[in-house]
Amino acid sequence: MSSATPAVSKTPPTWRNWAGNQSARPHSVITPRSAEEVSSAIRKAASQGLAVKAVGAGHSFTSVANTDGVQIRPEGLTAVHALDRAAGTITVGSGMRLSDFNTLLAGYGLALTNMGDIQVQSLAGATSTGTHGTGRVSGSLAAQIRGMEIVLADGEITTCSATENAELFAGARVGLGALGVVTALTFAVEPSFLLEAHEEPMKLDAVLGSFDALCADNEHFEFYWFPHTDNCNVKRNNRIAGPAKPLSKARFLLDDELLSNGVFSLACRIGKAAPRTVPAIARLSSRALSARSYSDTSHKVFTSPRRVRFIEMEYALARADATAALAEVRAFVEASGLPINFPVEVRVAPGDDLWLSTASGRDTAYIAVHMYKGTPHERYFTEVEKIMVAHGGRPHWGKMHTRDAEYFARSYPRFADFTALRDRVDPERRFGNDYLRRVLGD
C-alpha cells in the first residue's frame, strides 16, 4: 500500500487525444498508485474548487475526457487484485491497457469473451464510453464487468456489483467518467479459446440481403463497405477447437501492415491532396484485400493495429433498422459526390441492461463512418447523423456526435435514473466538464 500522496505535475503540457481533434490544459496532472491516493487527490481538488477528470489512452474522439481541472492518469493502477477461477472472474487496476490485460489473461490460460478492434485503450477508459466489438450473444467490454471499485466525489472508496450498490453498478459500468474515478474492475473471463477468421469480399446488396442470416450464423460478424463502390469486406469470426493456423508473418505484414496501414495511409494522403481521385482509390482499395482464413488466440483475431489516423462517428441502431439506414447512407454518398476516403464499418451486439450502454434494452447494429485525419468530415457526418437520428440512433459516447441531454432523455429508457444517480453521488459536479454538461445536462 502506498502513502496517500500521489505524484503531481503542476505545469502539465497541453493534453491531446489520439486523433488530434481534442486538446485540454489541465490545472495539474496526478498519477496515483492506489485508490487511497485517488481519494486524497479528489478531496484536495474539492478543497481548491477544482474539477477532476480521469483520462485513459486518449482514444475518444469527443471531448469526454477533457478537463481544465485535475487530470488523473490511472496508468499506475495496474495491479492484479484477485483471480477467482471458480467464479471465472479477475479483478485488476483500472489503468491497465487492454493489450497488457490480454497478455496477462493469456498467461493464466484465460480470455475475455469479446472486445473491439484495437487493444490500446485503458480498461476504465474503454468501458466508460461503452467500447464494443461485434457479437451475436456477447456484448461490450462493460457488459463483461462483474464488479467495480470506484472513488466518489466525497473521496469515499466504494465497491459495487449486481448484488452490492446495484444502482451504482447499473450506472457506472458505462459511466462516462461522470460518477467517480474507477480504480479497479472485475471482469468475467473464460478459458482461452481460438477464433477462426474468415474474411472475403462480397457485394453490398448481397450483404444487406443476407444481413440477418450473417448475424445469426456467426458468433462475430462485421463488414466494411467501401463508399463509391458496391464492394464490402465481410469478416466472420467463430470458435474452433484447433489447432491454430495463424497468418504467416509475411501475410500479416502484407495485409495488416502494408495494405491496411502503409498503402492505405498513402491512398488517404493522395485522396486528401486530390479529392477527385478518392472514388478510383476506393475501387482499388476495396479490391486489394482478398479472401483469407486463419485462426489464432481470440484477442489476436479480434484486434489489429490501426496506424492511419482518422476521426469517427458511430451510431447504434435497433438491429432491424440497420440495412435501411445503410442504404440511405449509400444513397446520400452517391447523390452528394462527397469524396469519402474511409470504409463504413457495421457491427452488431445483443441488447444489455446497462443504463447508458448504446445497446441498452435492444438488439443493436452499429454503423460507423470515418474520415482520414485532416480531410473535411462535417457535411458527411452531419448528413449521416440526420439519417441515424431519424432511425432513433444512439451515438457512441466516445465518437463524434451533436446530440444533447434532451435527446438522450428520449433515447435511453433509464437516462433519468442515471442523472438522478449522478445528482446523488456528484451533486457538485466534481467530475463535470463541457461534454457532460451537454450530454447529461447541468
Ligand X SMILES: Cc1cc2nc3c(=O)[nH]c(=O)nc-3n(C[C@H](O)[C@H](O)[C@H](O)COP(=O)(O)OP(=O)(O)OC[C@H]3O[C@@H](n4cnc5c(N)ncnc54)[C@H](O)[C@@H]3O)c2cc1C
| Beta-bridge partner residues of 150 | 158, 182
The nearer residue to ligand X, 139 or 279, going by C-beta atoms, is 139
The nearer residue to ligand X, 19 or 254, going by C-beta atoms, is 19
Smallest gap, in angstroms, from Cβ of residue 64 to ligand X? 4
Q: Is 125 in the site for ligand X (CB under 6 A)?
A: yes
Q: Which stretch binds ligand X (CB under 6 A): 51-59, 197-205, 264-272, 326-334?
A: 51-59
Among 41, 52, 124, 365, binds ligand X (CB under 6 A): 124
Q: Is 181 in the site for ligand X (CB under 6 A)?
A: yes
Three-class SS of residue 164? coil
Among 44, 132, 173, 362, binds ligand X (CB under 6 A): 132
CA dihedral angle for residue 168, residue 172, residue 173, residue 175, rounded to 10 degrees: 160
Distances (CA, A) of 367 to 123, 302, 314: 23, 18, 6
Q: Quote the cell numbers at residue 334.
A: 452517391
Among 30, 52, 54, 326, binds ligand X (CB under 6 A): 54
Contact present, 149 and 35 (Cβ < 8 Å): yes
Secondary structure (DSSP) of 213-280? HHHHH-SEEEEEE-TTSSEEEEEEEEEE-S---PPPHHHHIIIIIIIIIIIHHHHHHHHHH-GGGHHH
Smallest gap, in angstroms, from Cβ of residue 187 to ligand X? 15
Q: Is 264 in the site for ligand X (CB under 6 A)?
A: no
Number of amino acids touching ligand X (CB under 6 A): 34
Q: Is 42 in the site for ligand X (CB under 6 A)?
A: no
Find the helix or strand (DSSP H, E) in which 190 lies: strand 190-191
**Residue 101 CA neighbour count, 13 Å, CB half:** 35
The nearer residue to ligand X, 177 or 227, going by C-beta atoms, is 177
Q: Is 131 in the site for ligand X (CB under 6 A)?
A: yes
Distances (CA, A) of 239 to 91, 210, 351: 25, 21, 22
Contacts of 206 (CB under 8 A, 6+ apart): none
Distances (CA, A) of 191 to 83, 156, 298, 345: 13, 35, 11, 29
The site map against ligand X for 85-114 (x = CB under 6 A) is ---------x--------------------
Phi, psi of 185 (to 5 degrees): -135, 140
Among 31, 34, 60, 286, binds ligand X (CB under 6 A): 60
Q: Is 306 in the site for ligand X (CB under 6 A)?
A: yes
The nearer residue to ligand X, 279 or 433, going by C-beta atoms, is 433
Phi, psi of 230 (to 5 degrees): -100, 15
CA angle 415, 133, 220 (to 5 degrees): 125
Smallest gap, in angstroms, from Cβ of residue 77 to ligand X? 7
Q: Is 58 in the site for ligand X (CB under 6 A)?
A: yes
CA distance 432 to 422: 10
CA dihedral angle for residue 373, residue 379, residue 384, residue 385, rounded to 10 degrees: 90
Smallest gap, in angstroms, from Cβ of residue 67 to ligand X? 8
Restricting to residues 392-421, name those near ligand X by CB under 6 A: 396, 398
Among 30, 42, 52, 57, binds ligand X (CB under 6 A): 57
Q: Is 65 in the site for ligand X (CB under 6 A)?
A: yes
Q: Is 29 in the site for ligand X (CB under 6 A)?
A: no
Q: Is 139 in the site for ligand X (CB under 6 A)?
A: no
| Number of residues that this document lists for the chain | 442
The nearer residue to ligand X, 51 or 207, going by C-beta atoms, is 51
Q: Is 121 in the site for ligand X (CB under 6 A)?
A: yes
Smallest gap, in angstroms, from Cβ of residue 399 to ligand X? 6
Among 24, 142, 143, 182, binds ligand X (CB under 6 A): 182
Restricting to residues 366-395, name those near ligand X by CB under 6 A: none
Amino acid at 291: A
Residues that bind ligand X (CB under 6 A): 18-19, 53-60, 64-65, 74, 94, 116-118, 121-122, 124-126, 128-129, 131-133, 176-177, 181-182, 306, 396, 398
